[in-house]
Amino acid sequence: MNAQNFADAATESPAGTPRDIKMVARDVNVYYGPKQAIKGVSIEIPTDEVTAFIGPSGCGKSTFLRTLNRMNDTVSGARVEGDIRLDGEDIYDASMDVVQLRARVGMVFQKPNPFPKSIFENVAYGPRIHGLAASRGEMEQIVEQSLKRAGLWDEVKDRLNDSGTALSGGQQQRLCIARAIAVDPEVILMDEPCSALDPIATAKIEELIHELRGRYAIAIVTHNMQQAARVSQRTAFFHLGHLVEYGDTSEMFTNPREQRTKDYITGRYG
Ligand SMILES: Nc1ncnc2c1ncn2[C@@H]1O[C@H](COP(=O)(O)OP(=O)(O)OP(=O)(O)O)[C@@H](O)[C@H]1O
Ligand SMILES: [Mg+2]
Q: Is residue 21 part of a domain?
A: no
Q: Is residue 57 part of a domain?
A: yes
The more confident residue out of 148 and 14 is 148
For residue 66, the ligand 1 atom closest to its alpha carbon is 18
What pLDDT does 5 receive?
42
Q: What is the mean pLDDT of the chain?
A: 92
Q: Is residue 184 part of a domain?
A: yes
- Counting residues of the chain whose pLDDT is more than 90, the rounded percentage is 89
DSSP the chain: --HHHHHHHHHB-TT-PBPPEEEEEEEEEEEETTEEEEEEEEEEEESSSEEEEE-STTSSHHHHHHHTTTGGGGSTTEEEEEEEEETTEETTSTT--HHHHHHHEEEE-SS----SSBHHHHHHHHHHHTT--SSHHHHHHHHHHHHHHTT-HHHHTT-TTSBGGGS-HHHHHHHHHHHHHTT--SEEEEESTTTTS-HHHHHHHHHHHHHHBTTBEEEEE-S-HHHHHHH-SEEEEEETTEEEEEEEHHHHHHS-SSHHHHHHHTTS--
What pLDDT does 18 receive?
62
Q: Ligand 1 atom 30: the closest Cα is on which residue? A: 58
**Is residue 145's pLDDT more than 60?**
yes
pLDDT band (50, 70, 90) for residue 17: low
Q: Is residue 48 a contact partner of residue 113, using CB atoms and an 8 Å limit?
A: no
Q: Is residue 30 a contact partner of residue 67, using CB atoms and an 8 Å limit?
A: yes
How many distinct structural domains can be found in the chain?
1
User: Residue 84, Cα to own-chain centre: how many angstroms?
Assistant: 15
Residue 36 burial (CB < 10 Å; 0-12/13-18/19+)? Answer: middle
What pLDDT does 19 receive?
75
Is residue 232 lining ligand 1, measured as CB closer than 6 Å? no
Q: How far is CA 26 from CA 44, 47, 75, 244, 253, in A?
A: 9, 17, 21, 15, 25
Taking only the tens place, the pLDDT of each residue in 99-143 is 999 999 999 999 999 999 999 999 999 999 999 999 999 999 999
Is residue 58 lining ligand 1, measured as CB closer than 6 Å? yes
Q: Ligand 1 atom 3: the closest Cα is on which residue? A: 32
Q: Is residue 38 part of a domain?
A: no
Is residue 71 lining ligand 1, measured as CB closer than 6 Å? no
Cα dihedral 79, 83, 85, 89, rounded to 10, equals 100
Q: Is residue 19 part of a domain?
A: no
**Lowest-pLDDT range of 8-12, 158-162, 214-218, 249-253:** 8-12
Taking only the tens place, the pLDDT of each residue in 231-264 is 999 999 999 999 999 999 999 999 999 999 999 9
Q: Find the 24 Cα to ligand 1 centroid distance in Å.
A: 22
| Residue 96 backbone dihedrals phi, psi, to 5 degrees | -75, 130
Q: What is the CATH number of the domain that holds 136?
A: 3.40.50.300
**Is residue 2's pLDDT more than 70?**
no
Q: What is the CA radius of gyration of the chain?
A: 18
Q: Find the 222 Cα to ligand 2 centroid distance in Å.
A: 9
Q: Is residue 238 part of a domain?
A: yes
Taking only the tens place, the pLDDT of each residue in 167-220 is 999 999 999 999 999 999 999 999 999 998 899 989 999 999 999 998 999 999
Q: Is residue 95 part of a domain?
A: no
Q: Is residue 190 part of a domain?
A: yes
The more confident residue out of 164 and 9 is 164
Average pLDDT over residues 25-33: 98
Q: Find the 102 Cα to ligand 1 centroid distance in Å.
A: 21
Cα dihedral 11, 12, 17, 19, rounded to 10, equals -30
Cα-based angle 123, 125, 129 (whole degrees, multiple of 5): 140
What pLDDT does 179 receive?
96
**Is residue 147's pLDDT more than 90?**
yes
Q: Is residue 231 a contact partner of residue 200, using CB atoms and an 8 Å limit?
A: no
Q: Ligand 1 atom 7: the closest Cα is on which residue? A: 32
What pLDDT does 268 receive?
76
What pLDDT does 212 receive?
93
Q: Ligand 1 atom 16: the closest Cα is on which residue? A: 60
For residue 63, the ligand 1 atom closest to its alpha carbon is 18
Domain that includes residue 164, residue range = 46-70+103-265
**Is residue 59's pLDDT more than 80?**
yes
**Is residue 56's pLDDT more than 70?**
yes
Is residue 243 lining ligand 1, measured as CB closer than 6 Å? no
**Smallest-distance ligand from the CA of 64:** 1
Q: Find the 191 Cα to ligand 1 centroid distance in Å.
A: 12
Contacts of residue 161, defined as CB under 8 A and 6 or more positions apart, other chains included, come to 118, 119, 120
Is residue 59 lining ligand 1, measured as CB closer than 6 Å? yes
What pLDDT does 14 receive?
47
